[in-house]
Structure 1
Amino acid sequence: MPDSLTRENATLSAVLLATTPACRLHSGDGTLLDRLGDQLARLPVREVQVVGSAGGLGGDLRGVAKIARTAAGALAVLPADLVTHTEALAVLLEHPARSTGALISHDVTGGPLRPPVRVEGGRVVAAGSSFHLVPESNATFRGVLQVGEADLTALADVAEELAELADTGKLGPVTPVETVDLLLVGLVRSGVRVRAAGIGPLHADRVIGQDAADAALARLSEVDEAKVRLDTSVKEDDGFFATFFVSSWTRHLIKPAVRLKIEPNTVTGVSAGLALLAAVWFAAGTPGGRLAGAALLYLSFALDCLDGQLARYTRTFSPLGAWADGMSDRLKEYAVYVGLAFGFGGTEIWYLAVAAMIAQVVRHAIDYSYAGAVADAARVGAMWGRPARSLLESRDVRRAPGGVLRFAQRLERDTIARWLKKIIVLPIGERMALIAVTAAVWGARVTFLSLLCWGGVAALYQLAGRIARSSR
């Protein structure tokens, strides 16, 4: 019978797989199992069940399946021979969405306890084990798997299928060490969307002997977890302007805002207020008004970045907050268009303002309709009509990307080209900078013409990319 530890007011359960002798290795005054249990106690984990090895790999997998079928809420599965930072666990387990995800490192140094994975678009699209190979892997799985409530049935089905395959020897000489690795393989191959939660410079290593455990524990002290949490609150894949001209200084406001107990939604509200003030100054139509409007628009965007950074730092983001933030961005931008057109005067400028608004609506429709279609397909497990891949295929079989996607992937490997690609799509940071500079220096006509020309190029680029990805 598994041991159980229960906490109130938490929304996540965890299964600790104490199926290898390494979980009893020494760590301070206790064992690695004790250490990991203490770390989970500091996270929003309602119940921890410790599963000992019984019946080999097949028995362990059936034990996980049984727990998954009765679990209420999301379920984390992790090996008890793991040496990791608490912050690394929090990257996955404190995410408010409680969706299915896996802890990964972009360090591609593989090994028996570091199975390869391939990550695309923030998702694990291929996962490996000693039996399952991953061509073109670009990351490694670090042993922690979280399964959202909606995917628990899929987890149970996968675990039972794997148990049967393991018992009949069809997966080769796999052992209980690979329990969580095989579960990740099964979920990915069954079409479940698995978020890739990167640990960055943090450590998460499974160990075999005491020397390896001591070395892994020593490496933990080499990393400042507080600094890493601050650094990772800033989006690493943000646009050029936001990265170098905004986030470079707003990151220093995060801790003061936390100390003052300022909520992300409060920052969003102030950002919206500054944008409306910018629109009022633009409506004045004077050189001084345009300069003041440009400065206020820049500050509004800076706070727009800060609210996201603050939400990620405190891990208080939510779907509602993300929706409100996105709606606020659209309303602020269109209010500024109205202010610029009003300040310039004349009928012609309103045509340009409306055209710029329509162009932005079309661009967002391209983005969000595609993302929504992909999400709908994932929810029904369709994977765009592709059949689920068999767990008995030793090699991940995927169609090679087409010419456009191969070209885009080559660009991603070059730093300058990657930044140029981000600039081309005219993200909100570049748009705010374009509006502020052109409005302050030349006026509304140049602003709207610039938005239409650059936005048209960006829309064509995005449309080509969506078509290429869909046809893949």
Structure 2
Amino acid sequence: MTRVVLLGAPPGPISPPPLGGQPALPAAITLKSLPGAPTAYDRLLAQAAALDPEPTTIARPGDAAAYRRPYGRVVESPDIAGDLRALADAVEGAEDNLLILPADSLIHDELIYQITKAKRGALALVAREQREEGDEQDENAQETELVPIEEAEPEIGQTVVEGLPMRTRIGRSRIVSVGTAYHAVTRPNAVLLGPLHLHQRHLQTLAEVARELADMAHLFGPEDDVTELLTLGLVRRGVSVGRRGRRDLFFRRIRSQAEADEAQAEMAGYNEDRARLNNAVKGADGFFTTFFVSTYSRFIARWAARRGLTPNQVTLISIALGLLSAGAFSTGTRWGAVAGALLIYFAFVFDCVDGQLARYARKFGVLGAWLDATFDRFKEYAVFVGLAVGATVSGQFGDGEGVWTLALVAIALQSVKHLLDFSFGAANRRKAPIPLPTLDLTVADDRPLREALEERRASRNTGVRGLLKLWTNAGKFRPVHWARKMIVFPIGERFAAIAITAAFFNPRVTFLTLIVWGGVAATYTLTGRLLRSLA
């Protein structure tokens, strides 16, 4: 379960008044375009209840009555210091993950899911500053951009993005520094939108920084947001807070009925189901899977979901197709080889569909994960046996003894490769990450943090770590990225190699391809594992 806390008191305005005049409570804003015309708060509370049967709302005493519902609980707080202390009380000793959402959020269900399912220990939703094309900056702005970040001065950001102050510095994958009305940040480039998700291992740290920040509340401005302050505290305590954007999903904070009407019209232009379907496809798939399977397999997954099929049923279809492929190969005929190639291709397609269906329909289970992992190898090795039997039956290679030897070598090579992958993955999970630098919350700017990060970065650019980082950065170039994906010989490439070589050549060529490519993959993988172990 994920514990959910809704923040009922939005920050004070740093920007012009909301569209439509005076701000209104989310409990008084109606979402007219939705069935039943619920209030913005009721919709968000229902979304929160899907994760936490008793979500907590922190609200001002004068607003608490408007937030009370038959389910969930409301905690009254007089000010931002009270908000922070109430949040600390709510999470201290908790054993669940935590999701914090501003009560004025209008957000897609899929975006909530994507935030809460992230593997990072902490994740915040951010928006980068958008510059209009063709806009000309003034001379001072141009000079500022020319100043290297090492020489840039920390600042209290006054730029406003979506009604919130831009006081956050983000890197490629995580938040580097956060500012407030008191804390200055070096060259801020993003705004924290409000949603923040944390793994339960960070909740004690969150409670500690919340209490410390509560004691400093007199230093903050009315525009400072609770999640902004919490993220500041986490980053300065050395917690790696990841960042993600909205991408093809919708999020907006609404402060008035007019803003809500405008946001609903904008939200209607988003296709949440398409985004959910796209998110069902793993981003780390190999070249063959990405370009020759996932382009259409996701639609099969959606079709299956709408007809009530389960991922386990699709897995069984994949297994059946794999066994039929092995049977076709075992005939030793050319047409049998062609049929086997087609069958193994579609066995792999349905192997992808079962995972995509699980992610699209949110149907996960231990049995399904075990079936998928175990029977991938079973199908593959059954096909190896079918190819060897077919070579023996055809008499093309005498008694077939040489082909059987190649088949056994291919099976042994794949088994060793999978063993190495599994053992390294298990060991790597136990390896402690290099700690991030910390900085006391009372320090008014982030220069010491920036300098410590530069030293950390410099230390990682030498020796084995430097070599690994260089190779990682090379992945920014698409040809290198896909070459690295292919060289490790993932299952998609293996099944493609089997299908093509068996259909156009013979089992000996198939096994030699598997052994040579598999050997290169094993060498590359083992080298990388050794280097990472030494880094």
TM-score under structure 1 normalisation? 0.80
2:285 maps to what in 1?
238
Q: Aligned-pair distance for 1:91?
A: 2.7
1:34-45 superposed matches below 5 A: 34-41=42-49, 43-45=50-52
Aligned twin of 1:293: 340
Q: Which residue of 1 aligns with 2:212?
A: 164
Aligned: 1:278 with 2:325: yes
State the 1:113 CA deviation. Answer: 6.2
Query: What residue identity is the alignment partner of 1:260?
Result: R
How far has the Cα of 1:464 moved from its partner? 3.8
Of 309-318 and 361-370, the range deviating more from structure 2 = 361-370
Aligned to 1:348: 402
Q: Are 1:376 and 2:423 matched, yes or no? A: no
> Could you tell me how far 1:145 is from its partner in structure 2?
2.8
Distance, in Å, in 2 between the alignment partners of 1:20 and 1:236 is: 35
| Distance change >3 Å, CA 217–CA 358, structure 1 → 2 | same
Is 1:88 matched with 2:111? yes
* CA deviation vs aligned residue, 1:28-66 (integer Å, no higher than 9, x gap): 46764444224434x343111111263644432222221
Percent identity (aligned): 38
Checking the alignment, whether the CA contact within 8 Å between 2:92 and 2:207 is kept in structure 1 is no
- Could you say if the C-alpha distance between residues 247 and 44 of structure 1 is closer, same or farther in structure 2, counting changes exceeding 3 Å? same
Describe the SS at the equivalent of 2:178: coil
* 1:425 has 2:484 as partner: no
The residue aligned with 1:463 is 526
Give the partner amino acid of 1:13.
R
1:59 is aligned to 2:122: no
For 1:129, give the aligned amino acid.
Answer: V
Deviation at 1:235, TM superposition (A): 2.3
Unmatched 5+ stretches in structure 1: 1-10
1:102 aligns with 2:115: no
Deviation of 1:367 (Å): 2.6
The CA deviation at 1:306 is 0.6
Distance 1:437 1:205, change over 3 A: same
1-structure distance, mates of 2:126, 2:370: 29
Instruction: State how far apart, in whole Å, the 1-side matches of 2:258 and 2:449 are.
Output: 33
- 2:9 matched to 1:19? yes
Letter in 2 for 1:37: L
Q: After TM superposition, list the pairs within 5 Å mapping 1:59-208 onto structure 2.
A: 59-69=82-92, 71=94, 73-93=96-116, 95=117, 100=121, 102=123, 104=125, 112=165, 115-118=168-171, 125-126=174-175, 128-130=177-179, 131=183, 142-148=193-199, 150-151=200-201, 154-165=202-213, 167-168=215-216, 173=220, 177-184=224-231, 199-206=246-253
SS in 1 for 2:330: helix
The amino acid that maps onto 1:51 is I
Q: Give the whole-Å Cα distance in 1 for the aligned partners of 2:351 and 2:98.
A: 33
* Shift of residue 234, structure 1, vs aligned partner: 2.1
Match of 1:46, SS state, is: coil
CA RMSD of aligned residues (A): 3.6
Alpha-carbon displacement from aligned partner over 1:319-342 (angstroms, at most 9, x marks no partner): 542232111111111121122222
Bigger mean CA offset, 412-421 vs 105-114? 105-114
Question: Number of aligned pairs?
Answer: 445
Give the secondary structure class of the aligned counterpart of 2:92.
Answer: helix
| CA distance in structure 1 between the aligned counterparts of 2:266 and 2:331, rounded to whole angstroms | 59
Structure 2 residue runs without a partner (length 5+): 12-22, 33-37, 61-76, 131-159, 393-399, 442-447
- Report the TM-score, using the length of structure 2 for normalisation: 0.72
2:415 maps to 361
Q: From the CA coordinates, give the structure whose radius of gyration is larger.
A: 2
Equivalent position of 2:498 in the other structure? 435
CA gap 1:222/1:78 in 2 versus in 1, 3 angstroms: same
SS at match of 2:4: strand
CA distance in 1, matches of 2:388, 2:187: 54
In the TM superposition, residue 431 of structure 1 has moved relative to its aligned partner by 0.7
Contact 2:169 2:188 in 1 (8 A): no
Alignment-mate amino acid for residue 300 of structure 1? A
Looking at structure 2, the residues matched to 328 and 13 of structure 1 have their Cα atoms a distance apart, in angstroms, of 36
The answer to whether the 8 A contact 1:74-1:98 is kept is no
